[in-house]
Amino acid sequence: MSLAIDQDSESKTKPRLSAALQEELTALLGDRFTTAMSVREHHGKGEAYHPSAPPDGVAYANSTEEVSAIVKACAGHGTPVIPYGTGTALEGHTLAPQGGITLDLGGMDQILRVSPEDLDCTVQAGVTRNTLNEYLRDTGLFFPVDPGADASLGGMSATRASGTTTVRYGAMRENVLALTVVLADGRVIQTARRARKSSAGYDLTRLFVGSEGTLGVITEVTLRLFGIPEATRAAVCSFPSLEAAVNTVISIVQCGIPIARCELLDDWAMKMICDYGKLDDYVIGDTLFMEFQGSEASVAEQAEMTQAIAAEFGAGDFKWASKLEDRNKLWEARHNGHYAILAAKKPEQHVMATDVCVPVSRLADCIMATKEDLLQSNLNSGFIGHAGDGNFHMSIIANYDDPEENRLAHEFHDRLVRRAQDMEGTCTGEHGIGSGKIDYLEAELGEAVDVMRAVKRALDPDNIMNPGKMLRL
């Protein structure tokens, strides 16, 4: 029995779920393999505007050995494998446009080792960042990378995620020490040893970080950890203009203040989060959310320097929070940004999350030109940015089933990406290419994409690992 569904013409060239593979997977996993339509549909949807594309079956794996066996079985039939963590990817990474088996790693939720003396740990790929941080609390350590969603650490590795704390602690690129990966033929490798640094061969860790499931399945992740700082202080302040807020960020970065978080929200985004959270104690204006970490003396010094810079750019309405519950409340408002936007949209609308990143010196230019474009485009959107990294998002709320709205939103996004690329920036600071940005990648890196294709063909000659993502082969 074949469950092949005609989704697009390319899919017809791929073997879909054959009766033989279905038998093999059932023998391997019992009821942890299913072809139930509701489960397939659940796994075939992204969080964003992409049309859904369900797989032909869903396999739940609990160990690297099981992942290896599943991939081997699929490879034997040439059937696609789509790794799945929490389904919070924003560029359609977990869709199955060519059908195949979604490999759900949510059950791989074991924290395998924490070494406080080495400031590192190893987790299974399905462990989420909040689960890890709750587990770590008593050790005095934490894992800093914070993309907003409570994503799995395997998924965060696969998309090279970053987030609010990257300006201080780096992205997944800097914080993954080693990976266990199941290759396209089912073989299992360890990309590196646990030493802090190494010059032993090609940097396979960094090759798989950001590979979006197209080269293999990440099953275990060794991560750097950090000591919870002695003191932490958060601040919010508002500015007379978006430009003033952006210029404050640029000055903070250029002065070398080791700010731990530096988030920009414009008046549109502030209205969203205040409406959603029923918050009446924020100014609806162009705003920075900031956090300082370190020793008491260092935090005081950072806060003082930052306040002086912000004051020069006309900042006012400073709110400070030092106690954990006050800081959590303050950051909850910021972290609810995405959900506030989802709550504000009408049922027929969806959200496209843009993700450009430019050199910090170009950030004001890029944001101001984009703001002008936004005003002229009459689209429902605004700015939320990891401004310290030069990275900002615009969530464009539109009815993507309406051809005209769809066209306007995509044309706006096209102009935004081109503007960022013209400023030596990138189409994606942290969300990845997925199925949504394949052409932008070509425009951005040209012939380098041929090198990526050569690597892909070398490691996955039959193109079964998350096909249709990142690269057009």
Applying the rule CB under 8 A, the residues between 30 and 49 that interact with a copy of itself are none
Distance CA 5, CA 446 (A): 34
**43 neighbors 54 (Cβ within 8 angstroms):** yes
The letter for the amino acid at 259 is I
**162 neighbors 149 (Cβ within 8 angstroms):** no
**Range in contact with a copy of itself (rule: CB under 8 A) among 20-28, 52-60, 128-136, 389-397:** 389-397
Tokens of 267: 């008046």
Given the complex with a copy of itself, which of 208 and 400 has the nearer CB atom? 208
**Range in contact with a copy of itself (rule: CB under 8 A) among 61-69, 202-210, 239-247, 325-333:** 202-210
Q: Per rule CB under 8 A, is residue 422 in the interface with a copy of itself?
A: no
DSSP 319-361: EEE-SHHHHHHHHHHHHTHHHHHHHHS-TT-EEEE---B--GG
Quick check: helix, strand or coil at residue 175? helix
**Range in contact with a copy of itself (rule: CB under 8 A) among 123-131, 319-327, 403-411, 451-459:** 451-459
**Range in contact with a copy of itself (rule: CB under 8 A) among 101-109, 181-189, 240-248, 265-273:** 181-189
Q: Per rule CB under 8 A, is residue 391 in the interface with a copy of itself?
A: yes
DSSP conformation class of 212: T
- Residue 403: how many other CB atoms lie within 10 Å: 9
Beta strand spans in 266-326 (E) = 286-294, 316-321
Q: Hunting for tokens 């005209």 — which residue is that?
A: 404
Q: Per rule CB under 8 A, is residue 203 in the interface with a copy of itself?
A: yes
Q: Per rule CB under 8 A, is residue 193 in the interface with a copy of itself?
A: yes
**Residue from 46, 57, 85, 425 in contact with a copy of itself (CB under 8 A):** 425
**Chain centre distance of CA 13:** 31
Cβ of residue 66: shortest distance to a copy of itself, in angstroms? 18
Binding mask 272-301 for a copy of itself (x = CB under 8 A): ----------------------xx-xx--x
Cβ of residue 330: shortest distance to a copy of itself, in angstroms? 24
Q: Per rule CB under 8 A, is residue 397 in the interface with a copy of itself?
A: no
DSSP 136-169: HGGGTEE-----SS--BHHHHHHTT---TTHHHH
Quick check: helix, strand or coil at residue 272? helix
Applying the rule CB under 8 A, the residues between 341 and 360 that interact with a copy of itself are 355, 357-360
Given the complex with a copy of itself, which of 39 and 438 has the nearer CB atom? 438
Q: How many of the chain's residues bind a copy of itself (CB under 8 A)?
A: 93
Distance CA 263, CA 37 (A): 40
Applying the rule CB under 8 A, the residues between 117 and 176 that interact with a copy of itself are 117-120, 159-162, 166, 170-171, 173-174
**Exposure of 185 by Cβ count < 10 A (0-12 exposed, 13-18 middle, 19+ buried)?**
middle
Q: Per rule CB under 8 A, is residue 90 in the interface with a copy of itself?
A: no
**Residue from 189, 311, 343, 473 in contact with a copy of itself (CB under 8 A):** 189
Q: Per rule CB under 8 A, is residue 457 in the interface with a copy of itself?
A: yes
Applying the rule CB under 8 A, the residues between 212 and 271 that interact with a copy of itself are 215, 226-227, 229, 250, 253-256
**Residue from 12, 196, 323, 407 in contact with a copy of itself (CB under 8 A):** 196
Cβ of residue 277: shortest distance to a copy of itself, in angstroms? 29
**262 neighbors 386 (Cβ within 8 angstroms):** yes
Q: Hunting for tokens 């696969």 — which residue is that?
A: 158
